[in-house]
Structure formats: C-alpha cells, structure tokens
Chain A
Amino acid sequence: MKEYYSIVSSSVEGLSGLFHVRLNPDCEVYEGHFPGTPVSPGVCNIRMVLECAEQAAGHALRMRKLNRCRFTTLLTPQTHPELNIRISLQPKDEGVYTLTGTIGKGEEEYQTLKAEVTDC
C-alpha cells in the first residue's frame, strides 16, 4: 500500500518530539474509507502518532492501554494536508511509558491521545 503519510521534518529532544507530517491523498485506504468521500481514518492517525513516538524512543513500541483518545475534528488529506504531531513519553516503570500525543496545526488541536506503551 502506498504510504499513508510522510514525515516532512521533525525535532526530537529526549523522549519528546514535534513532527511535521503530510497526509498522502493517493493512499489506497481512501478507496475504502469511504468510497467517494475520503476521510482519514482515526486509527491510521493513532498509528501515525505511535510511529512518531517510536522515532523518539528509537525502537518499536506496543500499546498496552489506550486510556483516552479524542477526535474533535474530521481530517482529510484535502482539508488538512499538513499536520503537526506532538508526542511525549514519560517513563512510568521499567520499559513502560505514558504516551501523550496531539495532532494539530498551530493553535488548533484535532486529536489527542493518552496511552500506556511498552518496549517491544
């Protein structure tokens, strides 16, 4: 499948990072979500945030819990082609972190999540 997004630029400091991403309107996922009405799937956005967190951590992560994830704005590659993803990993235990992530642009927040992730 064609990539869902690409990271245009990023700045990582310790276990926090800010990623500037671009959504790919040609990704095949839009053929099915939904036919004739492309909508960026929330779960693909969750995966995108997780992958940014993995970049900051330097290795693969697994989500043990998704405490809360709120989607306040519908995103499409046409209406929101570029997004900022802010992530922060707080160590909780040996190999366990609290991940907070936000997808937004400027002052606006489109999606927020808080999860418990572990080293793979």
Chain B
Amino acid sequence: MEKKELIAKVNEVLAEEFEVEVSEITPEANIKQTLQLDSLSLVDMVALIENEFGVKIPTADLGQIKTFEALYDYLAEKGN
C-alpha cells in the first residue's frame, strides 16, 4: 500500500471507531489525547490495527508510538 493510501485508511478507520472527525487527526497530534483513549480503549485500537492492517503492535513498541505520524511510520515499516 502507498503511504498516502495507508495514512488515509488509518485515519478513516480510527475516526470511525473512536467517533472523531477525520480532520482532528493530524500527524503531530497525540493519539491518546485525540482519540480520548484510556487503557481499556487502547486495547481496542491495537486490535483494530491488527485486524485492518495485519500488524501486531507489541507492548514494547506501543510506548514509542505517541503521535499519528509515528503510527503511520510504524505501519509502513512493518506492513511491508
């Protein structure tokens, strides 16, 4: 998948699941804050990413993925 396509799909999938406007998702925004995730809903995000993109994010890596940009880069790297 092209990076641009990946970014669009990530945004769409997350916006729908967590009921935010796609416009609220910007590369430098903090994922937890923007999607209002607590420890319980964070699990939903990881499960969703795995389901939609086939990429499993281990707990060790999750701590490093703070912004949407970091997530895009991670998926682009692991997805290929």
Contact = CB atoms under 8 A, between A and B. Distances in A.
Interface of A: 70, 72
Interface residues of B, number: 2
Interface of B: 38, 40
A72 B39 CA distance: 10
Nearest to A71: B40
Contacts, number: 3
Contacts of B40: 70, 72
A75 to B, nearest CB: 17
A117 to B, nearest CB: 24
B77 to A, nearest CB: 33
3 contacts: A70-B40, A72-B38, A72-B40
Contacts of B38: 72
Contacts of A70: 40
A82 B38 CA distance: 26
Nearest to A70: B40
A75 B40 CA distance: 17
Nearest to B40: A70
A70 B40 CA distance: 9
B45 to A, nearest CB: 16
A72 B40 CA distance: 9
A72 B38 CA distance: 10
